[in-house]
Amino acid sequence: MSKSDVEKFLVEHGVKVTANRLLVAEALDDAGRPLSLMELEDSIGSIDKSGIFRCLNTFKEHHLVHSIEDMEGIRYELCLSHDPDHDEDTHVHFYCERCHRTFCLDDIHIPPVVLPKGYDSRTSNYLVKGICPECSGHHRV
């Protein structure tokens, strides 16, 4: 996304545009895969962890990011939902056991899970573990 597209994305989700929020959203967009707090701090450089964390919390409140729990901890990615109140961008993630990166498999949606009465689902995390194409030498076409 361009800088103006990222700004528009923030506004559409009810998030006030600030310099820090713009930098965090752009870093997530540029990465093309979920990033940890430390990876975000390294890629941005000009915002400390607490500032990034505050942005991420605001983004989560407005369904602007997903948090994914993988073998390394929590990673964040932009949520491409079109509804600021509901997350319809649920998809499978792949964790590479060799390079320790997590990838979005955007075209594979998490199957619906029917829960017993009384349970109220807030989020789901579907993680497949293995070796990515780059690490296995089988690059994707």
Residue 11 belongs to a domain with what CATH number? Answer: 1.10.10.10
Residue 38 domain flag: yes
Residues of the chain with pLDDT under 50: 141
Residue 141 domain flag: no
Total number of domains constituting the chain = 1
Could you tell me the residue range of the domain that residue 99 belongs to?
3-136
> b/e for 84-114, b at 16 or more Cβ within 10 A?
eeebebbebbbbbeeeebbbbeeeeeeeeee
pLDDT 10s digits, 49-84? 999 999 999 998 888 888 888 888 899 988 866 555
Contact 67, 76 (CB under 8 A): yes
pTM of the model: 0.78
Joined tokens for residue 30: 């540029």
Listed in sequence order, the residues at least 6 apart from 89 whose beta carbon sits closer than 8 Å to its beta carbon are: 66, 79, 80, 81
φ and ψ at residue 65, rounded to 5 degrees = -135, 155
